[in-house]
Amino acid sequence: MRTCNCGETDSTKFRKRMASKDKLDYLCKICARKYDRIKYHNNRDKLIARAQKFRNEHPDKVKKSKDKYNKANRKILLQRTKQFKKDNPEKVKKTQHNCDNRDIIELKDRYIKQILRSTLKLSSSKISQDFIDLKRTQIQLKRAIQNEKSKN
């Protein structure tokens, strides 16, 4: 039987630890969480640097796990975004105008995506690269026409 430092003996209150004999962690969940927090606090800079390094070295892995997370939590995330927009209309307005001029002049994907998102009410994942390119051509055409018009 496991006994935690705090006296906890209920095996269901322990985390799993495959390396140990009875497959249970040394500490109960509550103590383990406390311990993790202290450990994190003491090594914060190091852990952040390590995570950053991992992200830089494995962008594909990071993207994969992000996609997986987003897919699994789609409903919650959408709900959260919706709530955030409702609670912070000023912040949302600010981000929408956050594309800098270069994005707009050079018709960067980011800028075009933003237009498509807001005019067609599409989520980012539904906007294909072909569609972005098509929209870019449309804008270029429109700009060219406007340019011609202003010459006359």
Least Å distance, CB 129 to Zn ion, is 52
H or E segment at 28?
strand 24-28
Residues 91-150 that bind Zn ion (CB under 5 A): none
Residues 20-39 that bind Zn ion (CB under 5 A): 28, 31
For 3, other C-beta atoms within 10 Å of its C-beta total 10
**Pick from 4, 116, 127, 132: which binds Zn ion (CB under 5 A)?**
4
Residues in the interface with Zn ion (CB under 5 A) total 5
- Which C-beta is closer to Zn ion: that of 4 or that of 127? 4
Nearby residues of 109 by Cβ (< 8 Å), 6 or more positions away = 129, 132
Q: Is 116 helix (H, G, I), strand (E, B) or coil?
A: helix
Which member of 2, 8, 107, 136 binds Zn ion (CB under 5 A)?
8
Which residue, 16 or 97, has its beta carbon nearer to Zn ion?
16
CB 15 within 8 A of CB 8: no
Q: Based on C-alpha coordinates, what's the Rg of the chain?
A: 25
List interacting residues with Zn ion (CB under 5 A): 4, 6, 8, 28, 31
